[in-house]
Amino acid sequence: MKKTAEAVIIGGGCMGASVAYHLTRHGLTDIVLVERESLLATGSTGRNAGGVRHQFSNEANIRLSIESVVFLEHFADEVGYPIDFHQDGYLFLLSSTESVDMFRHNVAVQRRLGVDVQWLDGKEAARVAPGIDTKGVAGATFCARDGIADPHGVTMGFARGAQAAGAAIERNVEATRIRVTGSRVTGVETTGGTIETPTVVNAAGPWARQVGRMADRAEVTVPVDPVRRHCFIAALDNAANAPDGAAPIVPPSRIMVIDFDTTFYFHREGAGVLFGMSDPRETPGFDTTVRWDFLPQVTEAAVRRLPALAAASVSHAWAGLYEMTPDANPIIGPTSVEGFYLISGFSGHGFQHSPAAGRILADVIVGRNPGFDLAPFALARFDRQPVLGERSVV
């Protein structure tokens, strides 16, 4: 392993790989990315549902989405590696007056920024996603350019692009200490040896708080907590399609449907259906075992919105970790330690924002103007009065 580098990135998920790739676009190629697992994208990146959407409540997140979606649409041309990206849309179903009011505001902001979002009633929503039950739905929003992408493919594309430009990627290597002399970073100690460097990027996802504590004599408090989320796969047999001439009982496309008031969501995954829901009783922790006792609660909401799931069987499931901040907005930018940067806390929407977020932080590191107001994502915001964060977290 290299003994010196211009930058060390801790974390081999989509964020770390994106930062590495974009730094190499600026000519900063003397980079080492360290990942403690044997493969990249095995943490939160590899355990998410792959959703990509413009439909956020916070303007800064909408702007991240606008840039990221364009990048994903042209990923093969830009990075040189094809990805699996299906833009079949996101459909939000809204049942409460509070949700309708919030989404009316969200749609106004999204449209002001140039995002084409449609406002639908229940009947129109059912036509967009055949097979759903819209009983009790007071309104819905749909954006056709939203979709589903492959987190592993995106991460590996960024990583391979960075490697081709000269970046080194070290797997099975864990960072154990961040050396700080005076007020600035001077190196990283790892299980594979010490790397002298003036720049360290904390892209450790749910473990960002622990990595912040590694800084010598200048422990950086990173307000990120891991919260478990489940994904289930339902197997559909040949009876999952209605007779000829009738509407299918599951949407034929990979449209992502989110019942916002329950947080139940689903999309087609191969011949089956991927679905999940957040659990408000979940407490922070690193446990990623599947809580099968949670499935009945999910199923109750699931069959109410997608009746076809009543006859389906769950073939397998997994759990991953959201990296939550107090306001559900990410942290992107410098810390109080010179040369120590954060890109973490995306609160469930990190993968989809990795193209823009990685580009922005790379610009900051090399001293370029990122053309983006980072105030909503600054670490220092937590030292001030609470600010309006992201409200469309599922």
Say if residues 354 and 14 touch (Cβ distance below 8 Å): yes
In a domain, 312, yes or no: yes
Same domain, 219 and 316: no
Same domain, 235 and 220: no
- The predicted pLDDT at position 82 comes to 93
What range defines the domain where residue 231 resides? 90-144+226-322
If you write DSSP's letter for every residue of 154-177 in order, what string do you get? HHHHHHHHHHHTT-EEEES--EEE
When divided into structural domains, the chain yields a total of 2
- The predicted pLDDT at position 140 comes to 98
- The predicted pLDDT at position 49 comes to 75
Say if residues 156 and 169 touch (Cβ distance below 8 Å): no
- The predicted pLDDT at position 247 comes to 45
Q: By three-state DSSP, how is residue 125 classified?
A: helix
- The predicted pLDDT at position 50 comes to 87
Same domain, 220 and 231: no
In a domain, 16, yes or no: yes
Same domain, 118 and 233: yes
Q: Which of 322, 341, 361 is the last residue of a domain?
A: 322
Same domain, 219 and 177: yes
H or E element, residue 211: helix 208-212
Say if residues 324 and 394 touch (Cβ distance below 8 Å): no
Measured in degrees and rounded to the nearest 5, phi and psi for residue 294 equal: -85, -20
In a domain, 38, yes or no: yes
Among 190, 274, 181, 152, CA closest to 5 = 190
In a domain, 388, yes or no: no
- The predicted pLDDT at position 242 comes to 47
Same domain, 94 and 24: no
Same domain, 126 and 244: yes
H or E element, residue 25: helix 14-25
In a domain, 13, yes or no: yes
Distance of CA 347 to the CA centre of its chain: 7
Same domain, 131 and 280: yes
Supply the CATH number for residue 340's domain. 3.50.50.60
Q: Which of 301, 322, 343 is the last residue of a domain?
A: 322
In a domain, 207, yes or no: yes
- Residue by residue, pLDDT tens for the chain (394 residues) are 999 999 999 999 999 999 999 999 999 999 999 999 988 877 766 667 789 999 999 999 999 999 999 999 999 999 999 999 999 999 999 999 999 999 999 999 999 999 999 999 999 999 999 999 999 999 999 999 999 999 999 999 999 999 999 999 999 999 999 999 999 999 999 999 999 999 999 999 999 999 999 998 777 999 999 999 999 999 976 444 444 545 458 999 999 999 999 999 999 998 899 999 999 999 999 999 999 999 999 999 999 999 999 988 998 999 999 999 999 999 999 999 999 999 999 999 999 999 999 999 999 999 999 999 999 999 999 987 666 789 999 8
Supply the CATH number for residue 107's domain. 3.30.9.10
Same domain, 266 and 163: no
Q: Which of 322, 344, 361 is the last residue of a domain?
A: 322
Gap between the Cα atoms of 213 and 306, Å rounded:
45
In a domain, 389, yes or no: no
Same domain, 95 and 232: yes
Residue with tokens 């922790």: 285
- The predicted pLDDT at position 239 comes to 42
- The predicted pLDDT at position 249 comes to 85
Same domain, 232 and 289: yes
Same domain, 318 and 330: no
In a domain, 199, yes or no: yes
